[in-house]
Amino acid sequence: MRVLDLEVYDGILGFDWLIKHSPMQCNWETKTLEFSNDGHHVLLQGVQSPTLGVSELTYSQFQKWCKGNEVWAYAIVGHSQIPLADQPPAPVQALLTEYSDLFQLHTTPIKKL
């Protein structure tokens, strides 16, 4: 076994490991992998996807999700509240500055109809 810093992935099953534990049954929909190991039945259960929703996350979490292709849409709300240590990279900051009129905080009360 080799331990590697995988950043966005929890683990990778290598080809040698897969051969050693074959045959196995894999169900991508339920995220399960079943096989026998020394006469014992083994069931590996992947993490179930949470229900879709909107939640707050740190900039570090956002970077990790982007590297793992887990983000398909996002919104920055109240970006002035981001701690200085978590400021976006220079290219992103340049875009925020260039299009600052789009990213201004609302100070006008919203009127209810």
For residues 38 and 16, membership in a common domain is answered with yes
9 in a structural domain: yes
110 in a structural domain: no
pLDDT value for 34: 94
32 in a structural domain: yes
Strand 40-45: give its sheet, edge to edge. 24-27, 32-37, 40-45
- Over the chain (113 residues), the average pLDDT of each successive run of 10 is 68 83 90 91 83 74 76 64 64 83 68 59
Q: Locate 19 and state its tokens.
A: 């051969």
For residues 1 and 38, membership in a common domain is answered with yes
pLDDT value for 41: 94
For residues 69 and 44, membership in a common domain is answered with no
Q: Model's pTM, two decimal places?
A: 0.38
Strands 40-45 and 32-37, sheet pairing: antiparallel
Calculate the alpha carbon distances from 31 to 24, 43, 45, 82 in Å.
Answer: 13, 10, 6, 35
Q: How far apart are CA 40 and CA 90, in angstroms?
A: 53
pLDDT value for 40: 92
3 in a structural domain: yes
Strand partners, 37: 40
Q: How many structural domains does the chain have? A: 2
pLDDT value for 57: 77
Smallest CA-to-CA distance from 35 within 45, 27, 44 is with 44
